[in-house]
Structure 1
Amino acid sequence: MTKVWFITGSARGLGHSITQAALAAGYQVAATARNPEQLQEFTEKFPDQILPLPLDVTSKEQIQQAVAQTIARFGRIDVLVNNAGFGITGAAEAFTDEQVRSQLETNLYGPIEITRAVLPHMRQQRSGRIVQISSIGGRIGTPGLSIYQAAKFGLGGFAESLSREVLPLGIHVTCVEPGGFRTDWASASMSYAPVVEGYEGTVGFVTKFLKGGNFVPMGDPDKAAKAIVNLSEHAEPPVHLVLGSEASAMLQQASEMRKAEFEKWLPVSQSTDADDAIDFLQTEAGKAYAKLKGVE
């Protein structure tokens, strides 16, 4: 049986590469974009495999319609890739209300809503793969990207919790966390908050760095797409998958810094227990709870 993929943001960037790789591998693909006419190259090359669909990931109505149309055409959804999103740079206090809402609706609420729409079908199948395209910015904070990274940190937490909910149903969840890849994320897709004074050495530096063309990504989106296609067939996929040497190095450094900070402040952490507290994690109920959380 040929697997059915549902991919958001298929028209450009990493989503374009994933769609191309999935179709080339012989899968059937519901490819979505705000403007499905941008998917013409795929419809011409893979007319029998592709279902181009209009989808604004902030529209619950369009989400429900797109999922229903995919089920009507292919009968199932085996792999969901929540890829659609965009970046924004600026000081946290400087973003407009609309910019904040747009980031959270597109990069966090949209993937959650699409996942919730697809899950009933995967639950009935007792199988499925869900790939949330996050960012290394969902693991490491960067000045100027606070709202974008708030959404990506949230997406990572959603993915990790969800993975433990649905694994007994035969559904695997992976949060893919790329570093810099050669897409238009930092150029044409990037937007900016109004400039406010006082942040010249932090947010201002990042803004100039991006606008000045100094950011030269190491990552190849086609190689990332191939890794994601291979991931969909792996028997034991990871819950978190970092992509890119740059991102891997950044995460290793950040993990060491967090560990050092945690250990430095551990006496304060432990000092807040109640005087008559017992170690809940050593009780039978606590051990069962820890197993559910994956920290046994």
Structure 2
Amino acid sequence: MDARTWLITGVSSGFGREMTERLLRRGDRVAGTVRRMEVMDDLRAEYGDRLWLARLDLTDGAAIGAVVDRAFADLGRIDVVVNNAGYGLFGAAEELTDEQIVHQIDTNLLGSIRVVRAALPHLRRQGGGRLIQLSTYGGQATNAGASAYHASKWGIEGFMESTAKDVAPFGIGVTIVEPGSARTRFRDGSSRLATPLSAYDDSPAALTRGIRDPALPSVGDVAKTAAAILGCADLDPAPVRVALGSDSYTHIHKALTGRLAELEAGRDLAFSTDADTDARAGAA
């Protein structure tokens, strides 16, 4: 397989770091974004100009376009764009501040949207490419105490699924990846917690207060998951969604099965609100 060039957001740790190391080892080029450049000094020293780096905060909308444009200009062609950067915000809806919610949506949803919008003109001009969006099983299923996080992930999944239909004629494939739990520092590193309210002490939302506990089990293997994410770029046609991890599959399957049952239970009500046949014919 010929060497590819990848643009990956958030390469300093977790899946982003693991993917970057794997790609560089096999001879690919990576354009990576970080918030602190020095955390990549070891890889820059080892791989030289095959690792292109830029400082980027996904809440800085103007900077996103400039960084993506510069990456394409410097590297000539980028084959795969991976929206990996993001974090989790946990707490009951009432416990969250407006500022916390805005930052979560700005980062996970609007930041990812801006990366895609900045990359699309380049991908169209070069005749195609791939977009891979990191989501979570929480983009299809929900847990108590994660309303803002789920809002960001359900939102980006809707955006990416619709965008996949927009860009298919240009040879651009889109895949949403939904990993389960894995030890990536997501829980005990990047995650942020709301200030607890005593009213929720005995509610299901209170379970998220212990999300940083290192004793919490993780099902997924980081290396295997990163390899599977990269492998999505080789699948033709590009699958719209890929669940990774038995916990992800189980949570999503349960959620979709339950939603389908609720939909079927409401079928008669749904059809009862249609206009009468004669009325529809008259309107036409």
| TM-score, scaled relative to structure 1 | 0.90
Correspondences of 1:14-53 after superposition (within 5 Å): 14-53=15-54
| Structure 1 residues 40-91: Cα deviation after superposition (integer angstroms, max 9, x where no partner) | 1211221131111111111123212211221222112211011111111101
Separation (CA, whole Å) in 1 of partners of 2:162 and 2:45: 39
Q: Which amino acid aligns with 1:147?
A: A
Correspondences of 1:7-86 after superposition (within 5 Å): 7-86=8-87
The answer on whether the counterparts of 1:77 and 1:118 sit within 8 Å (CA) in structure 2 is no
Separation (CA, whole Å) in 1 of partners of 2:117 and 2:128: 15
1:93–1:18 distance in 2 versus 1, CA, 3 Å: same
Separation (CA, whole Å) in 2 of partners of 1:173 and 1:24: 25
Which residue is 1:293 aligned to? none
Which residue is 1:87 aligned to? 88
In terms of fraction of residues, the more helix-rich structure is: 2
Correspondences of 1:194-209 after superposition (within 5 Å): 194-199=195-200, 200-208=202-210
Q: Which amino acid aligns with 2:158?
A: G
| Shift, 1:165, TM fit | 0.6
1:75–1:262 distance in 2 versus 1, CA, 3 Å: same
Separation (CA, whole Å) in 2 of partners of 1:157 and 1:279: 31
Which residue is 2:141 aligned to? 140
What secondary structure, in the 3-state scheme, does the structure 2 residue paired with 1:250 have? Answer: helix
Separation (CA, whole Å) in 1 of partners of 2:7 and 2:121: 14
The answer on whether the counterparts of 1:21 and 1:229 sit within 8 Å (CA) in structure 2 is no
Q: Which amino acid aligns with 1:202?
A: P
What secondary structure, in the 3-state scheme, does the structure 2 residue paired with 1:223 have? Answer: helix
Separation (CA, whole Å) in 1 of partners of 2:150 and 2:44: 34
Percentage of identical aligned residues: 38
Separation (CA, whole Å) in 1 of partners of 2:208 and 2:95: 15
The answer on whether the counterparts of 2:65 and 2:114 sit within 8 Å (CA) in structure 1 is no
Separation (CA, whole Å) in 2 of partners of 1:58 and 1:244: 29
RMSD of the TM alignment (CA)? 1.8
Separation (CA, whole Å) in 1 of partners of 2:121 and 2:152: 24
Separation (CA, whole Å) in 2 of partners of 1:249 and 1:128: 31
Which residue is 2:188 aligned to? 187
What secondary structure, in the 3-state scheme, does the structure 1 residue paired with 2:31 have? Answer: strand
Which residue is 1:114 aligned to? 115
Q: Which amino acid aligns with 1:258?
A: R
Aligned residue pairs, count: 279
Which residue is 2:216 aligned to? 215
Separation (CA, whole Å) in 2 of partners of 1:279 and 1:211: 56
Separation (CA, whole Å) in 2 of partners of 1:190 and 1:92: 16
Separation (CA, whole Å) in 2 of partners of 1:269 and 1:213: 46
Correspondences of 1:223-242 after superposition (within 5 Å): 223-242=224-243
| Shift, 1:214, TM fit | 4.4
Separation (CA, whole Å) in 1 of partners of 2:88 and 2:175: 21
Q: Which amino acid aligns with 2:203?
A: G
The answer on whether the counterparts of 1:13 and 1:185 sit within 8 Å (CA) in structure 2 is yes
